[in-house]
Structure 1
Amino acid sequence: MNLSGIKHLVFDLGGVIIDLDTQATFKAFEKISGIPMVEWVKGVHESQLFLDYEQGLLGDAEFRDGLRNLCGVGLADDVLDKAWNAMLGAIPMHRINKVIELGKTYRTFVLSNTNGIHERAFNQILLDSSGNPTLDHFFHKVYFSHVMKMRKPETEIYQTVLEENNLNPREVLFLDDKPENLRGAEKLKIQTFLVPSPDSWLELF
């Protein structure tokens, strides 16, 4: 794609910067609860619990209680957290190094639908791989849905990023692995790129 006129890059996190395997979490919950994985997949898509947690409408303790209700078993916090975090993979340094390089030419941002338990987990992954405990070290600014109390693909979350940083949407490229999130950004005239696999965006630059 033509990057002329692009001055700002907004990255999703899961499936773009960090490797993501949601099936690993479904399998983990199947193992600890005895409930078939297909039921967990269905529950994630139908239960408001997960959307509310991503949007910061529930705290960590409330979310864990919701998971216990779904499991039907009184599991300890650390057991639930381990299963919930099973989807989070590596943050390879070649992606971080590319972000650092791009930061010399573009203003770089993260805009991610995430949650408190995952944030602590990927911060630890980042610390182990890079020696730095937060993404703020590598990006100009980081936005998380659970902190903002809004989530993609709602247009208000993109509008907030644009307004807070005085960005012209036509000068912004948003990279995400979910088509519905790109469509939300496109409503505001933001340029978009679908990331089919975590390293595919590297080919743009």
Structure 2
Amino acid sequence: MIKTLIFDFGDVFINLDKEGAMNHALSIFKLETFTEEMIAVNSLYEQGLVSTEEFLEFYLGNFPELIEEDILYAWNCILKDFPKHRLEFIKNLAKENKFKLILLSNTNTLHIDSIKNDVSFYEEFKNCFDAFYLSHEIQLRKPNADIYQFVLEENQLTPESCLFIDDTEENTLAAAKLGIHTWHINPKTEDITNLFTIKKDLF
């Protein structure tokens, strides 16, 4: 029986433009693919293991023809709108109080600061959750098993009582290995508000 719902943030609640942001970044960096060093720095930044200042210094040092505003736009342009009906969905779930609600997101200071500026109801959204875990704050990152173990232990949960929803298959596969029920949501064809229809076999 599902007692806890664990949600990703991007492309579950707030819409993302991953492809557009990637294409824009590769264009301004004049690259065909991200280098291994760039991928590593991005990952460290998501885990809060390098500061925003160090993150920006890395990119400005490697791409001296760019200015800080170029880097900030390239990094944040992935963030799109947060449909209000999804806020109402999580508010109703919180009000019903049938499930423990947890948010578990790979993110970073720049993205969260941008969301706080652009999404007027961010705090209202955050307050719907019993626990709100951002990778850069807890220094753990999906799909590493330790982040899921952390959530289970911190909240005294059993894997079989949890449903984890994420748009990245790598993340849901990692959670499933621990016995957590999962929904690999497709943001192009599915919406979180249809959770209880699509996953009705679990409820």
Deviations, residues 105-152 of structure 1 (Å, cap 9, x unaligned): 21111101111101111122322xx3x446422222110111111101
- Correspondence for 2:87 among 79, 86, 96: 96
- Secondary structure of 1:13's aligned partner: coil
Q: Is the aligned partner of 1:19 residue 2:11? A: no
Q: For structure 2, which runs of at least 5 residues remain unmatched after alignment?
A: 197-203
Deviations, residues 146-178 of structure 1 (Å, cap 9, x unaligned): 111110111110111111111121111000011
User: Superposition pairs for residues 65-144 of structure 1, below 5 Å?
Assistant: 65-76=57-68, 78-103=69-94, 104=96, 105-127=98-120, 130=121, 132-133=122-123, 135-144=125-134
Deviations, residues 39-76 of structure 1 (Å, cap 9, x unaligned): 3xx33796311111111111001111122234342512
Shift of 1:34: 5.5
Aligned to 2:200: none
Shift of 1:26: 2.8
- Correspondence for 2:5 among 9, 12, 21: 9
- Correspondence for 1:200 among 181, 191, 195: 191
What percent identity do the matched residue pairs reach? 32
The 8 Å contact of residues 44 and 50 in structure 1, kept in 2 or not, is answered as no
Q: Is the aligned partner of 1:57 residue 2:53? A: no
Q: Within 1, Cα distance between the matches of 2:158 and 2:113?
A: 32
Q: Within 2, Cα distance between the matches of 1:135 and 1:156?
A: 26
Deviations, residues 167-193 of structure 1 (Å, cap 9, x unaligned): 121111000011110111112211100
Give TM-score, length-normalised by structure 2: 0.86
Q: Within 1, Cα distance between the matches of 2:59 and 2:181?
A: 37
Q: Within 1, Cα distance between the matches of 2:79 and 2:124?
A: 15
Q: Within 2, Cα distance between the matches of 1:74 and 1:125?
A: 25
Q: 1:89 to 1:29 in 2, by over 3 A?
A: same
Q: For structure 1, which runs of at least 5 residues remain unmatched after alignment?
A: none
Give TM-score, length-normalised by structure 1: 0.85
CA RMSD across the alignment? 2.1
Structure 1 counterpart of 2:136, one-letter code: H
Alignment size in residue pairs: 193
The 8 Å contact of residues 7 and 102 in structure 2, kept in 1 or not, is answered as yes
- Secondary structure of 1:121's aligned partner: helix
Structure 2 counterpart of 1:164, one-letter code: E
